[in-house]
Amino acid sequence: MLVIYVALCFHLAVQRVQAGECYDGTSTDAVGNMTVVSCDFSRESCMTKIELNHGVTILTRQCLQTKACGPNIANNQQQCYSENAINNQVQLCYFCCNDANLCNDFATIPPLPIQPTVFPPITDTTIFPPFFPETTTPPPVVAETTTPPPVVAETTTPPPWLPKRPLSHQWL
């Protein structure tokens, strides 16, 4: 019985833990109802959906599972930022965040994130000649001739604890 009571208390405590706060609601052309809601851990991200349809803006905000954000955001390149969507005046854009409370507080489509620029390889060598052209050979390596320094005989004094020997004998 005690185990069931502890498990039930733990379950209720986990359910009451919240991930953060998000704006929640829907508006059309800035007319609507937005409230602040506390999201639980099963819906830990704040989502903003912006629909532009021939001048009418429908804004939807809510708590959402982070894994549900991915498929929606993946379509932004074509449905939100593409030239076709912009020219047809029909854009459907999804944005998710979970880095701060009330992070879904914007109502306009943010600019497309800057993409890295990929430059084509340079093939015109008249503009940028190669550093080491293939048609030239490197200069020959010339060995330097130097005279070694003269060898000077060293004279050493034996330590005082060794017996003195004549200079004609080698030290052992």
Is 133 part of a structural domain of the chain?
no
Q: Write a three-state SS string for the chain.
A: CHHHHHHHHHHHHHHHCEEEEEEEEEEECCEEEEEEEEEEHHHCEEEEEEEEECCEEEEEEEEECHHHHHHHHHCHHHHCCCHHHHHCCEEEEEEEECCCCCCCCCCCCCCCCCCCCCCCCCCCCCCCCCCCCCCCCCCCCCCCCCCCCCCCCCCCCCCCCCCCCCCCCCCC
Residue 12 has pLDDT above 70, yes or no: no
Is 40 part of a structural domain of the chain?
yes
Q: Are 46 and 98 in contact (CB under 8 A)?
A: yes
Res 93: pLDDT: 95
Query: Which residues constitute the domain of residue 43?
Result: 16-97
Read off φ and ψ for residue 46, nearest 5 degrees: -100, 130
Give the CA dihedral 159, 160, 163, 169, nearest 10 degrees. Answer: 40
Res 8: pLDDT: 34
Domain of 34: which CATH number?
2.10.60.10
Is 84 part of a structural domain of the chain?
yes
Res 106: pLDDT: 87
Residue 94 has pLDDT above 50, yes or no: yes
pTM: 0.56
How many distinct structural domains can be found in the chain? Answer: 1
Alpha carbon 2 to its chain centroid, in Å, reads: 48
Query: In this structure, are strands 18-28 and 90-97 parallel, antiparallel, or unpaired?
Result: unpaired
Determine the straight-line distance between the first and last CA of the chain, rounded to whole angstroms. Answer: 94
Is 92 part of a structural domain of the chain?
yes
Residues, the chain, total?
Answer: 172
Is 104 part of a structural domain of the chain?
no
How does residue 84 score in pLDDT terms, banded at 50, 70 and 90?
Answer: very high
Is 30 part of a structural domain of the chain?
yes
How does residue 20 score in pLDDT terms, banded at 50, 70 and 90?
Answer: confident
Q: Are 94 and 48 in contact (CB under 8 A)?
A: yes
Is 143 part of a structural domain of the chain?
no
Over the stretch 101-142, which tens digit does the pLDDT of each residue have?
899 998 999 888 765 566 666 565 555 555 555 555 666 776
Is 93 part of a structural domain of the chain?
yes
For residues 47-62, give the mean pLDDT. Answer: 95
For residues 10-28, give the mean pLDDT. Answer: 67
Which residue's entry shows tokens 């015109």? 124
